[in-house]
Amino acid sequence: MLRSADFSNLPAEPNAFVGRESDIDELVHLMRVSRAVTLCGAGGIGKTRLALRLADRVVSDHPGGVWLIELADLEKGELRGYVAAALGIVSDLAETIGGRRALLLLDNCEPVIGECAELCRDLLGACPGLTVLATSREPLRVPGETVWRVPPLSVDGEESEAVRLFVARATAARPDFELTDETRPLVVELCQALDGLPLAIELAAAMVRVVSVCQLVERLDDRFRLLAGGARTAPARHRTLRAAVDWSYRLLTPQERLLLRRTAAFRSSWTLDLAEAVCSGPGLPEEDVLLRLCDLVDKSLVALDGEIAGQARYRLLETVRDYALEQLAESGEEAELRHRHLTALATMAARFKDAIAPGARTSWPVIERYVNLFDALKAEIASACDWSIAVGQPETAFGLLTDVRYLLVGSGRQLDVTERLDRLLALGAPQVRPALRGQATILRGELALAAGDLELATRCTRAGLDLCRSVQDGYGEAIGLIALAQLTGQPDTLDRALEQARQSGDRILESLAQGTRAQVGLHHGRLREAQRAFEEVLAISEDLDNHVGQAYAHIGLAQVARRSGDPATAKRHYESGLRLLRHVDARQQIVSCLAGLGKVALDQGDLVEARARLTEALVLSRDAGLRSGIARRLEEWAILVTAEGDHRRAVVLAAASVALRGRQPDARTEDVLRPARAELGEAVVGMLWAEGTGMTAEQAVACALDGTLPERPAAPVISVHQDSRLTAREREIAELISRGLSNRAIADELVISPATAARHVANILSKLGFSTRTQIAAWVIESR
């Protein structure tokens, strides 16, 4: 999950919470005796607002976090991925949540009611500390669920909850509003006619700025009669709420009606710029959109939902959007609005690409705003792609996705489009330009590489590269070669990637090619080559004011410096990278900086600083569900507690790290086990190793952070991977390798055959988990 204890993402209340005092008290008690509570009721009855107030009251009972997850705009098949993304989890939900005492508030479960039921059943069964609070028009029907029917607000008299709510909202809409002897009975009558439904009351109260209470009563009554011919089996409250929304819509000016129904084209939220681009047109000039939007906000039909990238963010209430969608469908404008929606997002993406184009010299704050804007509008991008797929026209969607490829590849958690890109690519669409399809295919390969699917990544990258080459698309060929170089590490591919990037004149591409060369050099122990390439990345990124690129280069230079035995330089680079990432949610890079600072502190013997930094890195990895990151952090913790003299915990953490990564122990593991054997003995180390390999990720993290150790071994005493240790002869040969001797020179030194020397070297590489002689030499030097 995203944060540690005491975190809540509950929004601040936009206005005073009125009424339901006794309901809240009853529900607080209920939440303490039931792990699954569902607030049921008709749309507009106030389920969400009540749930938010309730969740706020019980925050202290859930130190593992309280999480609001809004489901109103979900479609079938999206639930689990959406919940994981909302929590910042990229691995198994149940395993990451584990035993923490947390509360999930699942709001508006209706669109995916069956999937919600299955998810709650699975999580409640696997996570003993988890509580679920849901809002829905019908029960989830999961084992152990307590269904609490949300009643209407009381309407019995002038001091009732409904009247108090009306007065509070009417006063907000018109500060001089007050109840008089004449209006008091009318307000009571109005609230009774609305059946005490909060949304209907708030819609009515918002209109006192333009009509009198007497007119409200008269017109609302008329709206009821207009809808009296609806389905007799429909709940009365639903018919009344629909009447209230219909009545409110009919009171709007023609321009306000146009804007309201056109905003239904947005799936989740929008900005003023998008509203002007999508909703303007016949009957509503672009210059009038802002004025009419203000009117709709004032009348509580459009909600102001905070800011994104310095721009106000708007959304429709669920019930209002349902109504607006019907009006949009009846208007005959829907296809045109969907097309304008897609085009507006594609235009925004094109502006982002222009902002980072060669020679643009765009400042970092501008780029940062684009990054945050696209992150906030990911539901709109998904909706636009869905419409492209539905009408079989992928070209504009391809342009949209390829123009923001750096955001997709650099932080795939922000804009999850992999499945939609597959469906777009599957469309025949011969009219799509080969260069564009080639770039989209390469993008699919890059996403596959990020997900660890090397076979698919190679296939897509080569196919896309061939398409781009066939039409001499230099930019596409450059990104394809860079991706291929990342996959293969072949020197000739690296050279061609860098040459093509330079020929394109795109310095971002050049920095990516240099970064690929640097990573390959670092992997193979060619530290000077890696340093030069990372320095090139840093110089280019500084020239472009690209903070993410600068941070990447600083992390690489820090790794080179640490391997070269220069901790001061390594620390300086890690700290520089961390500062640059302050305002961008780049979790993995932040973890790399924190873990790097912890390792540097360990190198320098500063155990207090090392513990602080490694704690931050481990907590952030855990909260994001980064399983491989957790495993690496546990290995670092094993080294830390070894230095602190806690050999028992060191063995357990080392074992957990090896098990989570699915790898054999290597030289770093042996550095932990060797002193543990000397201190505790082989038998005890074997017991602790068995316990560590059986731990879950959460148990291992708790062992690191809280010092929790097993009371008894979970398995028989075993020998701890004796093949991970070098024999006396192998250690002797490793020393000679560190002196730079070749296999033939080693054979001459030890009077053995070159074949025997080569076999020993191969054994050393296998046992230590290394791939180059340089790594063996570095290990020997570090072990002295």
Work out the angle at residue 503's Cα, subtended by the Cα atoms of residues 580 and 462, and round it to the nearest 5 degrees.
Answer: 85
The pLDDT of residue 319 is: 67
Confidence band, pLDDT 50/70/90 cuts, at residue 778: low
Q: Region 49-71: what's the mean pLDDT? A: 87
Largest CA distance in the chain: 113
pTM of the model: 0.66
* DSSP H or E stretch at residue 495: helix 491-504
Asked which of 212-226, 315-329, 563-577 is least confident by mean pLDDT, the reply is: 212-226
- Closest alpha carbon to 582 in 598, 594, 595: 594
Confidence band, pLDDT 50/70/90 cuts, at residue 10: confident
Q: What is the pLDDT of residues 593-621, one digit of tens each?
A: 999 999 999 999 999 999 999 999 999 88
- Closest alpha carbon to 87 in 629, 659, 622, 685: 622
Confidence band, pLDDT 50/70/90 cuts, at residue 414: very low
Tell me how far apart the alpha carbons of residues 397 and 345 are, in angstroms, rounded to a whole number.
9
The pLDDT of residue 194 is: 74
The pLDDT of residue 385 is: 93
The pLDDT of residue 372 is: 82
Q: Region 663-674: what's the mean pLDDT? A: 82
Phi, psi of 70 (to 5 degrees): -90, 125
Q: What is the pLDDT of residues 175-194, one digit of tens each?
A: 888 888 888 888 888 888 77
Please state, for a pLDDT cut of 70, what percent of the chain lies above it: 89
Buried b (16+ CB within 10 A) or exposed e, 550-584: bbbbbbbbbbbbbbeebbebbbbbbbbbbebbeeb
Tell me how far apart the alpha carbons of residues 394 and 174 are, in angstroms, rounded to a whole number.
49
Asked which of 96-105, 253-262, 568-577, 635-644 is least confident by mean pLDDT, the reply is: 96-105
CB proximity list for 417: less than 8 A, separation 6 or greater: 381, 382, 385, 401, 408
Across the chain, what does the average pLDDT equal?
A: 83
Task: Assess whether pLDDT exceeds 60 at residue 6.
Answer: no
Q: Region 150-159: what's the mean pLDDT? A: 82
Tell me how far apart the alpha carbons of residues 538 and 535 are, in angstroms, rounded to a whole number.
5
Q: Are strands 146-149 and 36-40 parallel, antiparallel or unpaired?
A: parallel
Tell me how far apart the alpha carbons of residues 266 and 387 are, in angstroms, rounded to a whole number.
12
Instruction: Please tell me which residue, 414 or 543, carries the higher pLDDT value.
Output: 543
The pLDDT of residue 161 is: 86
CB proximity list for 159: less than 8 A, separation 6 or greater: none
- Could you say which DSSP state residue 724 is in? G
Confidence band, pLDDT 50/70/90 cuts, at residue 223: very low
| Alpha helices (runs of H) in 427-473, residue ranges in sequence order | 434-450, 454-470
Task: Assess whether pLDDT exceeds 90 at residue 170.
Answer: no
Region for 310 from its dihedrals, namely left if φ exceeds 0, alpha if ψ lies in -120 to 50, beta otherwise: left
Strand-pairing partners, residue 103, are: 66, 131
Distance set, CA 759 to CA 30, 730, 776 (Å): 69, 10, 15
The pLDDT of residue 226 is: 26
Instruction: Please tell me which residue, 215 or 382, carries the higher pLDDT value.
Output: 382
Q: Region 287-311: what's the mean pLDDT? A: 83
Q: What is the pLDDT of residues 501-540, one digit of tens each?
A: 888 888 999 999 999 999 999 888 889 999 999 999 999 9
Tell me how far apart the alpha carbons of residues 750 and 491 are, in angstroms, rounded to a whole number.
35
Task: Assess whether pLDDT exceeds 60 at residue 722.
Answer: no
The pLDDT of residue 41 is: 75
The pLDDT of residue 481 is: 93
DSSP 3-state of 558: helix
Q: Region 496-503: what's the mean pLDDT? A: 88
Task: Assess whether pLDDT exceeds 80 at residue 235.
Answer: no
Phi, psi of 766 (to 5 degrees): -65, -45
| C-alpha torsion 287→290→293→295, nearest 10 | -90
Is the torsion defined by CA of 292, 294, 299, 301 positive or negative? positive
| 563 in Cβ contact with 527 (< 8 Å) | yes
Confidence band, pLDDT 50/70/90 cuts, at residue 227: very low
Confidence band, pLDDT 50/70/90 cuts, at residue 5: very low
Tell me how far apart the alpha carbons of residues 753 and 747 are, in angstroms, rounded to a whole number.
5
Confidence band, pLDDT 50/70/90 cuts, at residue 59: confident
| 781 in Cβ contact with 740 (< 8 Å) | no
Is the torsion defined by CA of 322, 327, 332, 336 positive or negative? negative
Instruction: Please tell me which residue, 319 or 74, carries the higher pLDDT value.
Output: 74
CA distance from start to end of the chain: 41
> Tokens at residue 91, please?
């691995």
The pLDDT of residue 771 is: 66
Task: Assess whether pLDDT exceeds 50 at residue 355.
Answer: yes
Fill in the amino acid letter for 594: L
Tell me how far apart the alpha carbons of residues 778 and 774 are, in angstroms, rounded to a whole number.
6
Tell me how far apart the alpha carbons of residues 318 and 312 are, in angstroms, rounded to a whole number.
19
- CA–chain centroid gap for 493, Å, is 33
The pLDDT of residue 240 is: 45
* DSSP H or E stretch at residue 102: strand 102-107
What angle, rounded to 10 degrees, do the helices at 567-580 and 547-563 form?
Answer: 160
Confidence band, pLDDT 50/70/90 cuts, at residue 147: confident
> Tokens at residue 202, please?
């708030």
Phi, psi of 232 (to 5 degrees): -70, -25
Rg (CA), the chain: 31
Tell me how far apart the alpha carbons of residues 522 and 55 are, in angstroms, rounded to a whole number.
49
Q: Region 344-355: what's the mean pLDDT? A: 94
The pLDDT of residue 349 is: 94
Confidence band, pLDDT 50/70/90 cuts, at residue 300: low
Tell me how far apart the alpha carbons of residues 408 and 638 are, in angstroms, rounded to a whole number.
34
**Could you tell me how many helices (H) and strands (E) the chain has, helices first?**
39, 7
